[in-house]
A and B are shown apart, each in its own frame.
Chain A
Amino acid sequence: MLDLAIWVYAGLALAIFGSLAMVIGPGVKDPIIRTINSEVASVGVCLVLLSYNHTLALLTLIATTVVITLILLRAVSRLEEIGADV
């Protein structure tokens, strides 16, 4: 049995790595790639919540992440359609 602390540290490392990938990662000039990169940090937060036994918070985070991704993709595609500088 692995120590529970390992999962917390793994989640924190994923969250920090994912946030770096979101800010200075490859190809982040494209807003779609930046939105997809945010999922890495989100998985890290999921690991932290999981090791803390926050079941309800974990399920709600998963559900709202889907909706936020939908909203952001809709905003990006509509702004590109209008011809704005994205």
Chain B
Amino acid sequence: MVVDIVPQFVPAFFQSMYVPVLYGGLIVAFIGLMGIAIEKRDIQILILTDLAGLAMLIIVAAVGTDLAEALVLPGLVVELAETLAISEILIAREMRKAEDARSFAPMPLNMDMEIMTTAPNFISLVLIGYGIFLSGFTGGAVAGGGIVLFALSRKIRGLPVVVIDGVGAISGISWCLWIIGFLLFFMMPQYWLLSLFLAAFGLLLKVASKMGLIGILMREEYGRR
């Protein structure tokens, strides 16, 4: 019987909800996979892949407790990286098919409004502040969203190479901080608070700078004439 292997500390609510949520996730996955099977065009299949990721999230969430939370975060990161990589491959393939060197257009709409230049400053400030308060991977994602918003809303272009290299260097150094913090956990457990903060803020800087770089690269691409 499955109930025997469930630990005692899992709340009764999670246990009673496990079967309905599992079946709900399976139904979503079935609908998404049928859609992928019917569809012919590649970009539509890429968009529908998002649905398979959502079904994965529902099924993992049904586990409940901290284990589910620990499994959801890597799943989200992998889904993000996979979507980014496949969209790049699609674009590269279509460009090779098209052969003629067509210039990339700027944004489809000419959004020249006052609010587009003033509001993002405040919103990104709030996002970055909240991200630093959260720390860890989630904080990095939230702060990185703020940086992406700020980078995309700027009109001036032509970021110096030094800045891009510098952001990359911050990312690498913070990755080392994370690894040092992780090692300290096992080598010197009495410094657990120091290693916890090293790991949390290393990961914050890492993820935030990576997402900021994505935003800057996207802006450079759209601005090209």
Q: A74 CB to closest chain B CB, in angstroms? A: 6
Checking A16, A48, A82 against B31 with a beta-carbon cut-off of 8 angstroms, the contacting residue is A16
Residues on B with C-beta less than 8 A from A85 are 41
CB pair B211 A67 closer than 8 Å? yes
CB pair A78 B91 closer than 8 Å? yes
CB pair B32 A57 closer than 8 Å? no
Known pairs A23-B31, A64-B79, A67-B211; list 19 more (Cβ under 8 Å).
A5-B16, A12-B58, A19-B28, A22-B32, A22-B47, A23-B32, A34-B48, A48-B21, A56-B136, A57-B69, A61-B57, A64-B77, A64-B80, A67-B141, A67-B148, A75-B91, A78-B91, A81-B102, A84-B98
Residues on A with C-beta less than 8 A from B80 are 64, 67-68
Total A-B pairs, Cβ < 8 A: 165
Q: Give the docked Cα–Cα distance between A61 and B95 (Å).
A: 32
Residues on A with C-beta less than 8 A from B201 are none
- Give chain B's interface secondary structure class: helix
CB pair B27 A16 closer than 8 Å? yes
B50 at the interface (CB under 8 A from A): yes
Residues on B with C-beta less than 8 A from A42 are 54
The 7 closest A-B pairs by CB, nearest first: A23-B35, A12-B24, A63-B141, A75-B87, A57-B72, A84-B94, A19-B31
CB pair A23 B48 closer than 8 Å? yes
